[in-house]
Chain A
Amino acid sequence: MIYADNAATTKMSSRAIETMVSLMKETFGNPSSLYTIGQRAKEVLEQARKDVAEVIGADPREILFTSGGSEADNQAIISAAKIGEKKGKKHIISSAFEHHAVLHTLEKLKKEGYEITLLDVHEDGLVRPEELEAAIREDTCLVTIMYANNEIGTIQPIREIGAICRKHGVLFHTDAVQAIAHVPVNVVDDNIDLLSSSAHKFHGPKGVGFLYAKKGVLLSNLIEGGAQERGKRAGTENVPGIAAMAAALKEAAEHLEENSEKLKKRRDQLIAGLREIPHSALNGDETRRLPGNVNFCFEGIEGESLLLLLDDKGISASSGSACTSGSLDPSHVLLAIGRVHDVAHGSLRLSLGEDVTEEQIHEIIQSVKEVVEYLRSFSPIWRDLMAGKKPFIL
């Protein structure tokens, strides 16, 4: 089996599993309790906070543990919106291809009277810093741009965006769910005020993540209750999950450079192989993309049938076709980079894991070639394209 959907979720690392199991067995205390076993859990929690902070160049007091990336996105955006509202600033800038955790939160704020500007991400899937600067107004309270896109993997010019925001005194949030542990991220160097992350994208457990909020950025609660997380996120802390996340993050950070180099090589082999399929196109910039991300459109076929047949060959992947999203429209990300519906339905995302071998890359290429050719063999669209009745788009 080849698991090539690491952007959806990853397999937990042995170190993360061991950390989690041993804590569940032995350190079950509530970190808010004053007796020894509670205080031991508290120590584990605070050590995890230090470890996470260190990886991204933050102070431990700037790390808030959450249930995952979506919660962190929601809390970051709503907090910044409330800070803005107090100053009479109700304009927010984002991009057209953010994760729905960001886009749907912005939709909600729009209904509450905020004005939202979504920046174009162009054909290469990259925000232009000069367009961002031009969009900043007197009443802009927040810029939220993802670090790396979850579907096409393009890495945004975060440092430049952060510098522009700082220059104009606007808060900057980044959804770094796909980036953390895969590319070097430093909140100080990158001028980031708020950052969201999720453990299961870097071999940690599901249901846990963190929000970085720069000192001085006042957070609003999404969950009211006890005084956990400096009073900003109530509920007994998921100590085993949080510690396992910290273990996975430390492990990934230690090997980031070597993993990245290896993955880029495999990724580029895969891109070169899939390019041999006629009337196909890579989605997103070729080099400014996550080390493990490959995303293609194949003309004349539909993504769900492609995924099902790849699954039969033991390959797990994903697609932005409407049929896989349960809606009538294909992925908003592919539409945002200008892919028309006809070809956006025929998309394939392969997100590689660090353990992928060269043989597996060849196996993926061979399987995708066979399946695309097979599906095209009885596609009426492909017949029309080949007969010259319709012009090829790709």
Chain B
Amino acid sequence: MALYSEKVMDHFRNPRNVGVIENADGVGEVGNAKCGDIMKMYLKIDDDVISDVKFETFGCGSAIASSSMATELIKGKPVSEAMQLTNKAVAEALDGLPDYKMHCSVLAEEAIRSALDDYYKKKAENEIRDLHDR
């Protein structure tokens, strides 16, 4: 049996949405180098819909595949829907991950959540600034 499913290998070999979004509306980074996994997510959001998403990942095959799949699952979706993304959904979409690699899907969920939190924070700050400007 292979280490990973065909789908994991496909997303690992040909990761979708790799890169950076300059002046992103939300940026989130989770994990740490000590543990060997870091994921960074960039979101472009228009009218509360995720119009673009990019990622950068330092990590193993399943970490890269999980990042890639997570971006696919939220691209074009409303922010409210993206907030509901679970690690289970990421793992299932990849046709499963080995038990000891499930934390990679958790990291992907957390990275998206962290980027969305950043978006909400920036949005709130902008609204306050707008009020002041008035």
Q: Which residues of A contact B (CB under 8 A)?
A: 300-305, 308-309, 312, 321-323, 326, 328, 330, 341-342, 345, 378-383
Q: Is B33 an interface residue (CB 8 A)?
A: yes
Contacts of B18 in A (CB 8 A): 378
Contact of A342 among B12, B34, B64 (CB under 8 A): B34
A342 touches B57 (CB 8 A): no
Contact of B59 among A302, A312, A330 (CB under 8 A): A302
B60 touches A321 (CB 8 A): yes
Contacts of B59 in A (CB 8 A): 302, 305, 323
Contact of B33 among A309, A323, A381 (CB under 8 A): A381
Contacts of A312 in B (CB 8 A): 13
B36 touches A323 (CB 8 A): yes
List 19 additional A-B contacts (Cβ < 8 Å) besides A301-B58, A302-B63: A302-B36, A302-B60, A303-B60, A304-B61, A305-B59, A308-B12, A321-B60, A322-B35, A323-B101, A341-B33, A341-B34, A341-B36, A342-B34, A345-B36, A379-B56, A379-B57, A380-B39, A380-B56, A381-B58
A382 touches B36 (CB 8 A): no
14 residue pairs bridging A and B, Cβ less than 8 Å apart: A300-B58, A304-B61, A305-B60, A308-B12, A321-B36, A322-B36, A326-B100, A328-B35, A342-B34, A378-B55, A379-B56, A380-B29, A380-B56, A382-B58
CB of B40, distance to nearest CB on chain A (Å): 4
Q: How far is the CA of A321 from the CA of B62 in the complex (A)?
A: 14
Give the number of A-B contacts (CB < 8 Å). Answer: 66
Contacts of A300 in B (CB 8 A): 58
Q: B57-82 vs A: 1/0 string, CB under 8 Å?
A: 11111011000000000000000000
CB of B103, distance to nearest CB on chain A (Å): 9
Contacts of B15 in A (CB 8 A): 378
Q: How far is the CA of A312 from the CA of B9 in the complex (A)?
A: 10
B36 touches A305 (CB 8 A): no
CB of A370, distance to nearest CB on chain B (Å): 14
CB of B113, distance to nearest CB on chain A (Å): 17
Contacts of A309 in B (CB 8 A): 13
A378 touches B36 (CB 8 A): no
B57 touches A380 (CB 8 A): yes
B57 touches A378 (CB 8 A): yes
CB of B41, distance to nearest CB on chain A (Å): 10
Considering residues B12, B34, B38, which has the most beta carbons from chain A within 10 angstroms of its beta carbon? Answer: B34
CB of A385, distance to nearest CB on chain B (Å): 10
Given contacts A341-B33, A378-B19, A380-B39, contact A323 B60 (CB under 8 A): yes
Q: How far is the CA of A51 from the CA of B86 in the complex (A)?
A: 62
A378 touches B56 (CB 8 A): yes
Contact of B64 among A305, A321, A345, A383 (CB under 8 A): A305
CB of A316, distance to nearest CB on chain B (Å): 13
Q: How far is the CA of A312 from the CA of B2 in the complex (A)?
A: 13
Q: How far is the CA of A378 from the CA of B55 in the complex (A)?
A: 8
Q: How far is the CA of A341 from the CA of B32 in the complex (A)?
A: 10
A379 touches B36 (CB 8 A): no
A302 touches B100 (CB 8 A): no
Given contacts A380-B39, A380-B40, A381-B38, contact A302 B58 (CB under 8 A): yes
Contacts of A345 in B (CB 8 A): 33, 36
Cβ-closest chain B residue relative to A300: B58
Contacts of B38 in A (CB 8 A): 379-381
